[in-house]
Amino acid sequence: MFKQVVVGVDGEVGGRDAIALARQLVDIDGELTLANVWSPDGPELLKRERAAARITAHLRTVDGDSVGGALHELADDELADLLVVGSSRRGLVDRVFLGGVTRAALHDARCPVAVAPSGYARRPHPIRSIGVGYNGSPECDQALAAARRLAAETDATLSVFEVISMAPRDSMSDFYNSRFAIQRAVRKTEERLGKLGGVEPHAVYGTPAEELALYSNSVDLLVVGSRSHGPFGRLLLGSTSVSLVRSVRCPLLVLTRAAGHAGLGFDQPVIQGVAH
């Protein structure tokens, strides 16, 4: 689990969802830091939220050019290995994931970012199943390595999920040929995923954000990697990111590009929970 966790708190429901998720992800010997950006009554707000959650946590108020940038800088200063925010429409997620400055901050963040789904504080539960959005890229391999470690530490089941996209067809003949091609591609993809070892393989045809949101309904934590190019780059660093974080049914853990190279060990291959 995570040792140093920074939680974005703004006095709204999204911040409380983030606190609830942080409690699930922090190590028993880990430390929580509740952070607020820009609020005039930041210190008192944080004290109220800490008391309401009945937790032990450090409190930090910070300023910056953007909410996302300030939180990521604080996470770096605290040597945090996780930043947690909430996905409520009145929470911090839009300000963390959108905008030129914050988008760059997410892309270069040295720790993973976890997003709590709206209303999570009302129904927090232990992580018993972990899913990984996968497409064979190095970033997805890092995400899978991180998920293997989390699954080993929480005794959770582990599954991988790949979304297949194919070009649309014009004629009825092309439609039927495409349908069989899709079925064949899904079957072969699941066979390939099964060779990763120690995972339940799943593959579907569709749109990544939509299918990942549906898949998230079957797991307690969804882990994805981010990159500057390709479908997952567009998903997590482009306009589709808001669609996913608002529609995801379970907590979302984004392993940022820099996190895999920040000494967290997420970029080391793991086979069936055993590090090499």
The DSSP code for 41 is T
* Same domain assignment for residues 143 and 268: yes
Same domain, yes or no, for 119 and 231?
A: no
Strand pairing class (82-86; 129-133): unpaired
- Residue 95, amino acid: R
Look up the CATH number of the domain holding residue 134. Answer: 3.40.50.620
Structure tokens belonging to residue 224: 């994805």
Last residue of a domain, one of 106, 124, 142: 124
Same domain, 103 and 23: yes
pLDDT digit string, tens, across residues 2-54: 999 999 998 888 899 999 999 999 999 999 999 998 888 999 999 999 999 99
Rounded Cα–Cα distance for residues 132 and 101 (Å): 27
Task: Give the domain extent around 148.
Answer: 125-250+258-276
Among 60-69, 104-113, 191-200, name the one with the lowest average pLDDT.
104-113
Tell me: do 136 and 59 sit in the same domain: no
Rounded mean pLDDT, 150-166: 92
What is the bridge-based pairing of β-strands 274-275 and 157-164? unpaired
Question: Hey, what's the torsion of the CAs at 226, 230, 233, 236, to 10 degrees?
Answer: -100
Compute the 3-state secondary structure of the chain and give helix, strand, coil in percent, each to the nearest 5: 45, 25, 30
Q: How many CB atoms lie within 10 A of CB 41?
A: 12
The mean pLDDT of 213-237, rounded to a whole number, is 70
Task: Look at residues 98, 124, 150 and tell me which one is the last residue of a structural domain.
Answer: 124
In this predicted model, which residue has the larger pLDDT, 92 or 59? 59
How many domains are there within the chain? 2
Same-domain status, 230 and 177: yes
* Rounded distance between C-alpha atoms, residue 173 and residue 151, angstroms: 45
In this prediction, residue 276 has a pLDDT band, given cuts at 50, 70 and 90, of: very low
Q: Do residues 66 and 155 share a domain?
A: no
Nearest to 78 by CA among 28, 34, 22: 34
164 and 241 share one domain: yes
When mean pLDDT is compared across 29-33, 89-93, 261-265, the lowest value belongs to: 261-265
CA 209 to chain centre: 13
